[in-house]
Amino acid sequence: MPAMEEPTNELERRYRRLLRWYPRAFRKDVGAELVTTLLDAAEPGQRRPSRRAVADLVKGGLRQRFRLPIGIAPRVVAVLAALVVGAMGAAAGGWSAWLTSPGLPGDAEAKQIIGTAMGVPYDHGLNRSVGLLGGLVPPESSSPAYVGNAESRDVPGSTTDVVARRLTAAGWKIRPAADPPLGSAGPALSASRDGLVIWVRWMDIPASAEPPRTFLSIEIVQDEPALAPAGLTAGWLIGALGGWLFAAATIYRIRRQGLVVQVLAALLTTGALALFLLPTLVAYLGLWSLGQPERYLQPPWAGYVLSPLHWLTLLGLAATTTLIALSLIRPGKAAATAPGPQPAG
C-alpha cells in the first residue's frame, strides 16, 4: 500500500543515517541485513527510530570503531598511537591558546617597566629575543622576551622586599615564591600584570671577573593565557581518541592486505613510532613542567618545531603517510580475508 510505503522509506533513511556511526567495512558487510532487521521490528506506520534504538545504534557504532583485533600487538600499537597523537594534540591546543596572549610591550614601555623595578630610569639596551611564538617561555629556557641588566650596586635598595614594594605600587601582583633560577646569586621574584610576567634575579659575575660583581637581571615575558590549560587538555583528549581510532582503522585495513603489505606496514609502524619518540618525550616533559611552580622547561610544542627534533617529526609524518597509503590499497581476492566486522572508517 502506498500509504504504508512512505513511512517505511523515511524510517529506512533514518536508520541508514544512524549506521554512519559504524565503520565502513561493517556497513558494507552487514549494514543491509541490520537495516532489514530494524525495519521488520518497527511498529506499523513508524517514521522515526525510538530513542532506545538511536542510543543502541550510536553505542554499537562507537564500540565497533574502538574495538581492536585479538592480540597484544594491536593493543600496544593503539596505546602508543594514542600517546603520540595525544601529545601532538596537546601541543596544537596549547600553541593555539598562546596565540590569544597579548603581545609584548614596545621598547619604551619595556624600559619603563624595568625602571619601575629598579627604582631608577633605565635607558640602556634591551635584548629582545623572539623565540617560540615570541618569548613565550619564561627564564631558564631559550627565549626570554626582554632582558635588561644593571649592576646591583648602582641600583638603590636592590633587595627583594624593596623591588616587590615598587612593583606592587605600580599595579603588579607578586607571584608565589619560587626557587631561584640557575645563575642567580640570591632569591628571585616574579610579578604579573596585563598578561605579562616580570622576573627579577640577582646574578653573579664569574669569580674570574675583577672586581667580583652581582648584576640585577630583569626579564619580561608573556604570561600563560587563561585558555592554555583548556587548550592543552582538549587537545590531548582529541588527539588521544583520534590516535586510537586511527590505529584501529589502519590495523583492520592492513589485515585485509597481502603478506608483503603487512610486513611493510609493520616496518613503517615501528619506524614512525621510533621517530616520534623524542618529540613526544619533549612534549610530555613540557606538559609536566607546566604543573611545576615557576619551573618551565620548554613548551609542549618545542619538540615538533625546534631543530633537529623537527626533522624526526617530519620523517615520522612521512612514514605515517606511507602507511596510510598502503592501508588504502584495494586488496586482491586472494588477500582479502575480511573476518567479520572491521572498524575501518
Of residues 222 and 109, the one with the higher pLDDT is 109
Answer for the pair 52, 249: CB distance below 8 angstroms, yes or no.
no
Render pLDDT for 150-188 as a digit per residue (tens, 0 to 9): 666 667 667 788 889 999 999 999 987 655 444 445 567
Answer for the pair 236, 97: CB distance below 8 angstroms, yes or no.
no
What's the pLDDT score for residue 60?
87
**Residue 1: pLDDT band with limits 50, 70, 90:** very low
Render pLDDT for 221-244 as a digit per residue (tens, 0 to 9): 777 788 888 999 999 999 999 999
What's the pLDDT score for residue 194?
87
**Residue 43: pLDDT band with limits 50, 70, 90:** confident
Q: Could you tell me the three cell numbers for 243?
A: 590516535
pTM above threshold 0.75: no
User: Is the omega angle on the peptide bond into residue 156 within 30 degrees of 0, that is, cis?
Assistant: no
Q: How far apart are CA 77 and CA 188, in angstroms?
A: 45
Q: Name the residue type at position 165.
A: R
Q: What is the mean pLDDT of residues 51-67?
A: 88
Q: How far apart are CA 330 and CA 230, in angstroms?
A: 41
- Report whether pLDDT(338) > 50: no
- Report whether pLDDT(324) > 70: yes
What's the pLDDT score for residue 220?
83
CB neighbour list of residue 287: distance below 8 Å, 6 or more residues apart? 87, 90, 232, 236, 300
What's the pLDDT score for residue 345?
47
What's the pLDDT score for residue 69?
87
Instruction: For the chain, give the mean pLDDT.
Output: 78
Q: Could you tell me the three cell numbers for 340?
A: 567479520
3-state secondary structure the chain: CHHHHHHHHHHHHHHHHHHHHCCHHHHHHHHHHHHHHHHHCCCCCCCCCCHHHHHHHHHHHHHHHHCCCCCHHHHHHHHHHHHHHHHHHHHHHHHHHHCCCCCCCCHHHHHHHHHHHHCCCCCCCCCCCCCCCCCCCCCCCCCCCEEEEEEHHHCCCCCHHHHHHHHHHCCCEECCCCCCCCCECCCCEEEEECCEEEEEEEEECCCCCCCCCEEEEEEEEECCCCCHHHHHHHHHHHHHHHHHHHHHHHHHHHHCCCHHHHHHHHHHHHHHHHHHHHHHHHHHHHHHHHCCCCCCCCCCCHHHHCCCHHHHHHHHHHHHHHHHHHHCCCCCCCCCCCCCCCCCC
What's the pLDDT score for residue 132?
45
Q: How far apart are CA 9 and CA 43, in angstroms?
A: 13
Render pLDDT for 290-314 as a digit per residue (tens, 0 to 9): 655 444 446 788 778 777 888 999 9
What's the pLDDT score for residue 2?
41
CATH fold of the domain at 107-223: TATA-Binding Protein (3.30.310)
**Residue 110: pLDDT band with limits 50, 70, 90:** confident
Answer for the pair 241, 90: CB distance below 8 angstroms, yes or no.
no
Which of 30-44, 65-79, 215-229 reaches the highest mean pLDDT? 65-79
Query: Of 76, 82, 137, 87, which is closest to residue 309 (Cα–Cα)?
Result: 87
User: Hey, where are the domains in the chain?
Assistant: 1-66, 69-101+225-345, 107-223
Of residues 43 and 342, the one with the higher pLDDT is 43
222 beta partners:
196
Q: Name the residue type at position 339.
A: P
What's the pLDDT score for residue 141?
37
